[in-house]
Amino acid sequence: MVRKLIVPINDELEKEMSAFPEVDWVEVTIRAIRNCIRDREKIRFYNTIIDRAMAQERKQRSQERKQRSKSSTKKSQMLCALRSE
């Protein structure tokens, strides 16, 4: 199925386009739309990779904080035990 798309252009752009009557402006527009879609798909793909990497890094930092907290708690318990002796 073919869809129609109305693209408003101002007088200045129309004048510039008329200087190149051999150009199929419909094809140029279709190509521009396809390029835009392709570019956005690439951005989405890379953002997914970046988001996953950032989530993994956050998880790792959280685990490291928990580990430090456990270590700190053990040290505090040992100090309290030494002080009570």
44-84 tens-digit pLDDT: 999 999 999 999 999 999 988 888 777 777 767 777 776 76
The whole domain housing 63 covers: 24-84
Is residue 10 in some structural domain? no
Tell me, yes or no, whether 62 lies in a domain: yes
- List Cβ neighbours of 25 (8 Å cut-off, separation of 6 or more): 17
Q: What is the pLDDT of residue 85?
A: 62
73 lies in some domain: yes
Within a domain: residue 17?
no
Per-residue pLDDT band for 22 (boundaries 50, 70, 90) equals very high
Asked whether residue 13 is assigned to any structural domain, the reply reads no
Report the distance separating Cα 39 and Cα 79, nearest Å: 59
68: in domain: yes
What is the spatial distance between Cα 82 and Cα 75, in angstroms, rounded to a whole number? Answer: 11
Does residue 1 fall inside a structural domain?
no
- Give per-residue burial for 7-36: e unless 16+ CB within 10 Å, then b: eeeeeeeeeeeeeeeeeeeeeeeeeeeeee
Q: How confident is residue 16, by pLDDT bands cut at 50, 70 and 90?
A: very high
- The structural domain count of the chain equals 1
Q: What is the chain's mean pLDDT, rounded?
A: 90
Asked whether residue 49 is assigned to any structural domain, the reply reads: yes
